[in-house]
Structure 1
């Protein structure tokens, strides 16, 4: 039985524009979790709300509606790499510090400007590189230099605009822009309970879309993420792959839960949790993990 010190925490994987999946998952969470525990739960969405699936607009409408529909819950919406790029395109990123310009972020990726067909419409002169790439008219969805080209075409069409349209920025709903502007890059939660083979542990929880680099100072990484510092062309914690898969030793020593999405798999190794069973693919389920029980709930669950 969950005590008052064992508040239910639900971490939900990458939605990627599949409105039916998140609505079905939400219904299953309501059914499978005790009503009082569900209505007071702390819910962490791990990012990547847009792209791949056909209904990004509906997904954002659903997420935006949750605080008013479930006022006793608390909700955290992390920025995924796709959401970061989406926010960059519509002008919803925080400005870079020290009077820097977003155009300074272009240099690292300059060799990709032509093959990716970076956006050159209205406002591109001071757009973060990830926004220009996201709105780009690239010739191929995948190429050997970069396997993570943003498949944003479906996001444009969900709002009724052709890919790369400057009119999309002008007509973008203000509520959606506010949502993107307010996304957290990292979330820290004290005293989260988790059931382990050694019993129930009380841990700190850190949630970030991709993870934290194992061989770099954890606090230094977290300072950048807390500040939402946009002077960098990319951040491994949001779009990294191999370097952020494992648990940093510093966190392991302090028994910290590190939870992420992003990696296209459901992987639980000790206190390192990766919740992205969907991988942006229509055929795969959308999964959530419930703490402290460690129960996995999916949109595809059928209840007898």
Structure 2
């Protein structure tokens, strides 16, 4: 029996959706297979939805509740920024400072209203953007109102009982949450993953990364940086890119490779390129997962009555 792998898309603080999705997965998948499955969370656990704190509690509880499962927690760009605000990111290499990450984007500071309160002096760029207060009311690209910052972080602050932009968040976040965020990985690889394709079952390499891999850069170079969690980079394209990381790099097509991501606010399955973010953090959208090898899509809104 092939091992079951569940890749779960962006959660964005929606605890009720996560609980329903988990119940559906547990109902759909054979109990023995589910208990030994690999669960890959594709990142973006915080912001937009109302219960970031409860989402993290749920994720942290899984290894003790399901000790025979393997759980992988990827960092999304929102989680990276949350971690940066809490100052739990690894230090930049070679003696560099987090403040060095500001320089390339300083022309955006006023418009984005970067955080400039306690602890900002040596905070990674994304932490300042996350905890800041954007002047504009509406995100024109998405047609939604900003919730506090350009990251829509206001709901995350509120879930810990402090107002948006408050330096008190650092004290309000429990140590176990800080530890969880500090240990998020930027990429995960698996070899010999069985997947059903139009040509039958095949074994593939699997690379899971929140946004994707850049098409124009060498894959191994990218993987090295991601595994090292190089925080000297102001904007990590594999966690926050859009068009640049949409496709599978050509060199990965030589050996069948699944590249699975969330991030894009879309559900997109094109051969072995899997983008699982049907929710996008929006209240009225479902949270989705994909189950391998069958390539079955599961949503929190599904009425599940049968098992795989």
Residue of 21, 30, 36 corresponding to 2:17: 21
- Contact (CA 8 Å) 2:215, 2:244: kept in 1 or not? yes
Q: Quick one: distance in 1 between partners of 2:201 and 2:137?
A: 45
Q: Quick one: distance in 1 between partners of 2:8 and 2:218?
A: 27
Instruction: Give the 3 Å change call, closer, same or farther, for CA 177–141 of structure 1 in structure 2.
Output: farther
Q: Quick one: distance in 2 between partners of 1:297 and 1:31?
A: 11
Q: Quick one: distance in 1 between partners of 2:112 and 2:247?
A: 31
- State whether structure 2 residue 93 is matched by structure 1 residue 97: yes
Q: What are the superposed Cα offsets for residues 105-126 of structure 1, whole Å, 9 maximum, x if unpaired?
A: 0011101111221111111111
2:168 counterpart SS class: helix
Q: Quick one: distance in 2 between partners of 1:271 and 1:277?
A: 17
1:166 counterpart SS class: coil
Q: Quick one: distance in 2 between partners of 1:221 and 1:206?
A: 12
Residue of 1, 7, 12 corresponding to 1:11: 7
- State whether structure 2 residue 261 is matched by structure 1 residue 263: no
Instruction: Give the 3 Å change call, closer, same or farther, for CA 100–173 of structure 1 in structure 2.
Output: same
Instruction: Give the 3 Å change call, closer, same or farther, for CA 256–303 of structure 1 in structure 2.
Output: closer
Q: Quick one: distance in 2 between partners of 1:152 and 1:65?
A: 23
Deviates more, 1:210-219 or 1:114-123: 114-123
Q: What CA RMSD, in Å, does the superposition of the two structures yield over aligned residues?
A: 1.5
Instruction: Give the 3 Å change call, closer, same or farther, for CA 293–152 of structure 1 in structure 2.
Output: same
Q: What are the superposed Cα offsets for residues 232-277 of structure 1, whole Å, 9 maximum, x if unpaired?
A: 1011100000010011111111111100000111111111110001
Query: 1:189 aligns to what?
Result: 190
Q: Quick one: distance in 2 between partners of 1:79 and 1:68?
A: 21
Using the TM superposition, give the Cα deviation of residue 171 of structure 1 relative to its aligned residue in structure 2, in angstroms. Answer: 2.5
Stretches of structure 1 lacking an aligned partner (at least 5 in a row): none
Once the two structures are superposed, the pairs formed by residues 138-287 of structure 1 within 5 Å of their partners are 138-142=134-138, 149-287=150-288
Q: What are the superposed Cα offsets for residues 53-92 of structure 1, whole Å, 9 maximum, x if unpaired?
A: 0000000000000000000000000000100000000011
Q: Quick one: distance in 1 between partners of 2:70 and 2:266?
A: 26
Using the TM superposition, give the Cα deviation of residue 141 of structure 1 relative to its aligned residue in structure 2, in angstroms. Answer: 4.8
Q: What are the superposed Cα offsets for residues 147-197 of structure 1, whole Å, 9 maximum, x if unpaired?
A: 992000000001110011011112221000001000000000111110011
1:106 counterpart SS class: helix
Q: Quick one: distance in 1 between partners of 2:282 and 2:251?
A: 34
Stretches of structure 2 lacking an aligned partner (at least 5 in a row): none
